[in-house]
Structure 1
């Protein structure tokens, strides 16, 4: 079972990388590019939106949010663009590890906003 999960995780990462490539294609609609940018930033961020040490919720983004984001993003990209992007992703992933520092900045920004809101609620009330 662990092997199957690892295989599925690699497949999801490959699909996300293909989405990152497809996002740069001029044939991809602007709204798909915007959604894919959020999905890619979250998926390849070196920092989790919900840290894994938090019981149950820590793995929620890895098990639910990421696959759902990829699923919906794939629906927005033209099939011909995705076919080409998948080929490029398979070749590139053998040579480089995708990381999204923009995703890390996005996650840190969400944390700062959440801490600010919680602080405002606690101190303000």
Structure 2
């Protein structure tokens, strides 16, 4: 069981690395590139949408959101681009580290969600 989990984690990291190469490829459509960058930002951000200290839900977002976003991004990228990106990732494996840009984007998303919630609340109170 532990070996299967390690293998799955290794495949996930390899796919994220390939996704980072595919996102930089000019043959990738803009919408697939945008989703790929969002998935990579979330994966590399030091903060999560739901903090890990919240029991069950904290890890549920990592187990569901990241694979689902990765799956969708991989489906939107042309197969030949992904094949080339996977080959490039296999030739140049390196660790994807935490990203300051990922942190900043996640903070921006949190701020936008707070503003939207506040606006919804104030509009609801005025009715």
Q: TM-score, normalised by structure 2?
A: 0.82
Structure 1 stretches lacking a partner, 5+ long: none
Match of 2:74 in 1: 74
Aligned-CA RMSD value? 2.2
Q: Would the aligned equivalents of 1:17 and 1:98 in 2 still touch at CA under 8 Å?
A: no
Task: Map 1:17-36 onto structure 2 (within 5 A).
Answer: 17-36=17-36
Per-residue CA distance 1:87-108 (angstroms, 9 max, x = gap): 2112333x44343322211222
Q: Which residue of 2 aligns with 1:10?
A: 10
Kindly indicate whether the alpha-carbon contact (under 8 Å) linking 1:15 and 1:86 is maintained by their aligned counterparts in 2: yes
- 2:18, 2:85 within 8 Å by CA — same for their partners in 1? yes
Query: 1:23 deviation in Å?
Result: 0.9
Structure 2 unpaired stretches of 5+: none
Contact 2:17 2:96 in 1 (8 A): no
Alpha carbons 2:14, 2:89 under 8 Å: kept = yes
